Structure 1
């Protein structure tokens, strides 16, 4: 190839140093070319492939950083010589050596050591490809990773390559229904960081971080105003070990942070903790952005978890109140919720009432339909600021502004993905030049006084802007069929639980 990326000749690759000109799309395309042409795609999923690319890049970068001259050298996290030794192995020896390396780096008994925290997250429970796939792994190491200086690749492009490859794995991630994983489109996250005013002085958390996309969007918003960010600027948690591994790799490859720094991502069930997110540092968060699981087939809500909750409901209801309760005063938040959280009964009513009284819930964004891949659920984002209760007893919320980006808009992540421009009017409406108090109503933007909201039946927040009524957009026939299939699977699971609980006689 023109720039040498893809040759197996190490000497030739060393004589041509085009790494500084590589782009994220070029890197991702060439790794995918290797996946299609050099691996058994039946035996190795796209997500397994991307995860192994991440492991190998971590090990190669760790080795390159240790080889830098003088004071620029960094102590390697992996054993000295681990990468050169790995590049010499093949067959059974490669499987044995790689397995041992993954296990040693992911050893949770060492996770309490600050310099081993990051590696313990990246390699926790990591498993190599099967033994009969070692020829492919050897070729990936020798031909696609080892000949090149990955430190010379622009950091932003290396991160973009990994994020792009993760987005290309959306089908595999969607199959992880046991923990309710989904991918959040970057244009939506960029709009959120603008409305929240994320800056370099902030500490941003995500208590259900998935692949880390939310934290990366916040990182770039912070970086735009300051080239030096503290290692505590980002913090995330997830209860899925694989998502934690991918989120950690995603953050590392975007930020270039030292591998010996404390890990910004933790494996944790956030809803079991009375703190905003699980991390060792004591710095209080100032911003929270969270797209929690809307449903999960593997983990069910446990009403005995928290005695500080206003009420106990489904996952999105619980994540919403978790942040509203645990965030410090003045912290800003954006939380994704399905329509049911806005108008549902039971616990959702109690949470809505307490949210309006204890937080300044200033903006509701009704998102376009079809936004999340293979998910028929309509989604929204609630923006609020944690506020102290008023001595007068009045609610902390004064007005809730509703922006309708849904009516007349239908997007899919493949055929018609959302773009930055789709949220320009929303951002401009939320942040007029003369400040927040200068917001004005428009065709898609409407203000609701809090007294009107509290007087509504069940304190429903199923609100619209000044738009003519339109037929509901339920998505394409395929999306409708997939949603029906999901609902039938859920019903079957509930019936199975009931059947198993019945006596034999």
Structure 2
């Protein structure tokens, strides 16, 4: 029995099987608010440690099961008990040691690793741990009393493997969503949280099913693969671990996505990792690779970093690219070039990819020629926290170029879900129901020729697009010009504050220069 914390009276008890996602998140954030130093430990660092501790605790629970139900331990034997028993410097030393062992590169597992399974360096059970613990570090040694309390009071007393998978997965995803301000603070990396409802709509439009293998070349926190897995699970309760795979260059994103996917899909900790820390753009001919083998995907869902600054083009890196551009453009063509024939894709792109000149124009033309680019979904502004980014989703199917020289695309249908529509993640969050009309207009993936025109859905001939200079995709659906969307009042106030801060810094520099 577990003590019910943060709800009801003192001492009220109930079983882990009865926990809800709301109960889990409320309890953990209460601990963060009441028992941790916000200056020393950010929210995302706190969630990272929840991931470390849950992995070690659940792995210890599974290895302690009786008989054939037990699984070989991945961490050194007795790890959880040692973490429970230690405090202060000794806890910091022990957790650092465990992180170094589990996060060691291939072939560098430290001496002293003792497991019941005897896994070698090439076994997938160690690979998942490597992704989760790569570059991991405990929070400051001076805050070990807080970490010890988190282990002893909030994680250790409970049997986490008995918590309903759907609730535990939803709780961890909610914890990550609550870190959006931390992610926004690093927005120069181009990483933004995509609303899960939008990703579910994309997966439904692509009609993913248990026979598919879905990849994400810029995995982020894994939300795209989780949405695809959930849509697959509607058709079948048995969706294999080989059905999803992703890569991300950032080790932090790799670990958060790994735990997010493990908890939301029920994927065994002993399977090959669902996410690799890798640069997809360097992998010529391979959309995404697993640690055990190359993935041959049937579906790609990708929202790449919307980053164009600080990036140096290197056409020697990918001689197969049609043109070298910024991150969104390069991810778009990476997916279009490396997908096998017949694979379906949905790639998020900013407005600049739709109408930019130079490399963007080249990629649009080659995309029309080599793929069936059948749908463009123009998304409302305000979807992405703290930004007024204008985003779109390009849906296409990889095709074989026609010997006649005709484009593989016949008609590009544009659905305008932007004009007169605005959402924010706080005031007016987007839901799947908001896209009901889009899904109805999109229709079945095998019957795209049966679509009907509407005020928000308009077809454009590929031949006409190619005949225009630049082959612009900056297309409307007949609703007329859109009033300039300045964003929510909070967005406007935030931009004004940022502008004032920058002005203050500039004037201070001028004053200092004048002595």
**TM beyond 0.5:** yes
Match of 2:442 in 1: 430
1:253/1:299 Cα in 2 relative to 1: closer, same or farther (>3 Å)? Answer: farther
Show structure 2 runs of 5+ residues with no match.
Answer: 108-120, 503-515
Asked whether the 8 Å contact 1:324–1:386 carries over to 2, the reply is: yes
1:373 is aligned to 2:373: no
> Are 1:32 and 2:29 matched, yes or no?
yes
Whether 1:42 and 2:63 are equivalent positions in the alignment is no
Contact 1:90–1:134 at 8 Å: present in 2 too?
yes
Higher mean displacement: 103-112 or 256-265: 103-112
* Aligned 8 A contact 1:301 1:315 in 2: no
Q: Take 1:282 and 1:161, find their aligned partners in 2: how far apart are those partners? A: 32
SS of the counterpart of 1:458?
coil
Quote the Cα distance in structure 2 between the aligned partners of 1:236 and 1:72.
29
Where 1:446 maps in the other structure, the secondary structure is strand
The equivalent residue for 1:55 is 52
Q: Which residue of 1 aligns with 2:509?
A: none
1:88-127 → structure 2 map (5 Å cutoff)? 88-110=85-107, 112-127=122-137
Other-structure match for 2:407: 395
CA distance in 2, matches of 1:253, 1:189: 18
Match of 1:220 in 2: 230
CA contact (8 A) 2:288 2:294 kept: no
Structure 2 counterpart of 1:501: none
How big is the shift at 1:231?
2.1
- Paired residues of 1:179 and 1:296 also in contact (CA < 8 A): no
Q: Write the mapping of 1:425-504 to structure 2, written as runs, cut at 5 A.
A: 425-431=437-443, 435-476=447-488, 478-480=490-492
Aligned to 1:199: 209
Displacement of 1:489 in angstroms is: 12
Q: Distance in 1 between matches of 2:445 and 2:277?
A: 41
How many residue pairs get matched?
483
Change (3 A) 1:36 1:211: same
- Hey, what does 2:20 align to over in structure 1? 23
Distance in 2, Cα, partners of 1:369 & 1:460: 20
Q: 2:287 aligns with which of 273, 276, 280?
A: 276
Counterparts of 1:71 and 1:469, CA distance in 2: 66
- The answer on 1:145 being equivalent to 2:155 is yes
Give the equivalent residue in structure 1 for 2:423: 411
Among 259, 283, 304, which residue is 1:292 paired with?
304
Q: Distance in 2 between matches of 1:487 and 1:238?
A: 32
Q: Distance in 2 between matches of 1:195 and 1:487?
A: 40
**Cα separation, 1, equivalents of 2:83 and 2:268:** 22
Q: Which moved more, 1:280-289 or 1:182-191?
A: 280-289
Corresponding position: 1:71 with 2:68: yes
C-alpha deviation, 1:41, in angstroms = 1.4
Whole-Å separation in 1 of the counterparts to 2:500 and 2:260: 35
- Over 3 Å counting, the alpha-carbon distance change for 1:340 and 1:297 in structure 2 is closer
- How far residue 446 of structure 1 moved from its aligned partner, in angstroms, is 0.6
Give CA deviations for 1:378-413 in whole Å, capped at 9, x if unaligned: 100000000011222211101111000000111111
CA distance, structure 1, for counterparts of residue 311 and residue 42 of structure 2: 24
Report if aligned partners of 1:177, 1:296 keep a CA contact under 8 Å in 2. no
The DSSP-based 3-state class of the residue aligned with 2:106 is helix
Q: Deviations over 1:229-259 (max 9, x none)?
A: 2222111011111000100011111122221
Deviations 1:201-244 (A, max 9, x none): 01010010011111111111111112222222111011111000
2:196–2:227 CA contact under 8 A, matched in 1 = yes
1:296–1:165: structure 2 CA closer, same or farther, 3 Å change rule? farther
Match of 1:330 in 2: 342
Task: Give the match for residue 499 of structure 1.
Answer: none
Counting only pairs closer than 5 Å after superposition, residues 241-260 of structure 1 correspond to structure 2 as 241-260=251-270
Q: Take 1:428 and 1:298, find their aligned partners in 2: how far apart are those partners?
A: 41
SS at match of 2:187: coil
Match of 1:341 among 345, 353, 375: 353
The Cα offsets for residues 92-134 of structure 1, whole Å up to 9 and x where unpaired, read as 1111111111111111134643221000000000010101111
Structure 1 residue 475 displacement after superposition:
1.2
Q: Which residue of 2 aligns with 1:81?
A: 78
Aligned to 1:302, what secondary structure does the other structure show?
A: coil
What is the rounded CA distance, in whole Å, between the counterparts of 1:488 and 1:112 in structure 2?
A: 54
Which of these residues, 176, 182, 187, is aligned with residue 177 of structure 1?
187
Match of residue 500 from structure 1: none
1:166 aligned to which of 176, 192, 197: 176
Residue 438 of structure 1 and its aligned partner are, at CA, apart by 1.7
Per the alignment, in what secondary structure is the counterpart of residue 333 of structure 1? Answer: strand
**Where does residue 373 of structure 2 map in the other structure?**
361
The answer for the alignment partner of 1:494 in structure 2 is: none
Which one is further off, 69-78 or 16-25? 16-25
Gaps of 5+ in 1: 491-505
Deviation track 1:338-397 (CA, whole Å, cap 9, x = no partner) reads: 001000000000000000010000100000011111223210000000001122221110
Matches of 2:311 and 2:497, distance apart in 1: 20
1:355 & 1:489 partners in 2: Cα distance?
Answer: 42
C-alpha change, 1:85 and 1:223, in structure 2 (3 Å) is same
